[in-house]
Structure 1
Amino acid sequence: MSDAAQSSDPNDIDGVDDLGVRLNMLETKIDKVYRPVIKETIPELQDELTHKDERISELEDEVAQLNERLEGLLGVESEDASTHDKRVQDTKQILQRRASANDGAASLYWREIADSLAEHGHGELHDTQVKRVMSDVADATGYDSATGKRDVASTDDRSDIREVSVVRCNLERVPGSGAVNNVVGGTTGGEGSEDGTIRGEVVGSQGGI
């Protein structure tokens, strides 16, 4: 058979055999070099991932504990640090402390809440801000809304006893109410209340605790 006839065979095209050889060499190298290394490395990578997952879980637990401690601190360092959620948390703390000193129950109406929050660094709050705090506190477990008698007179030289809406606390129903004594600033007692108890009688309830 002539050379021309042989060159017409597609299997004899220049470079095809060379590519086949290179392909076989690469497959051999992958099987003998890379695959064993990968096989040995996978358990190490799995162990490393497991370790990192465990460390992440530890850090998440630490963050949760720090957040819990932060939430347990009563008051803020400045008015700029005052947020609605923190005001709600502090109002709960104030109620819990007063309930601890008052047979497990305490209540506050909006002016008492505003004054107490101001004493703990939250500054002067608008009525709507305070009433929003009252609403969210009343929705929490161990708290509810009620009607209480309060002296709402704006001066000390007269008395003006009225029934007002209050938010109250039943300490026995509050989850995790043991730690209530961490203070950032201010005092635990309200105006005219040296021991932190609430002056005023709760005479009706708008929701069970």
Structure 2
Amino acid sequence: MKPCRSMLYIPGDSPGMIQHAPVFGADSILLDLEDAVALTEKDAARKMVACYLKDYDFKDLIVTVRINGADTDFFDDDLNEIIPCAPAAIRIPKCNGPADVVAADKKIEEIEKANSIPVGKVRIHAMIETAVGVENAFLIASSCPRVQALTLGGQDLTADMGVKKTKEGWELFYARSRVVVAARAAGVDVYDTVWADISDKEGLL
């Protein structure tokens, strides 16, 4: 299987950026329907991403879609529109415990069966974005076979803890370590929080 050493985040409502995704040299891309898309553009972005998944040649890129959380009005629509397109994985925000993942897994399985997609083909990346999620990281990672990876959401986690997110990132040191250990123990992959300062290329590298 192709290694996934780098992931490029792309707003789901940016066709130009989506079309140019294969030229940047990343191993994978994430088409974002959550934070990168305004509330008024959610429906249009969802349909756009679905169209690209069906018709666009992403070359050898691994394509993941970050959907909106289960606590939003967009969650079910995102699943119903995106799962039939069979991306490599769905990234689910704010997974606080195994029940969040199991509930999503059941919905994804229903959609896979309805669309003649092999059950389990679309994997889950569970986002750890709260203190509760950090404490439950291993339970989340081992909650169902569909989980392929844990990923740390540093912006929301620092907000949840009431601390300032710094460039050095020491405030995330414990959470990073905890999530990495949990992922290793569960036998799944792990992704760090996104690098948001696009002007600092040295920091990214």
Q: TM-score, normalised by structure 2?
A: 0.26
Q: With the length of structure 1 as denominator, give the TM-score of the two structures.
A: 0.26
Relative contact order, CA 8 A, sep 6+: which one is greater?
A: 1
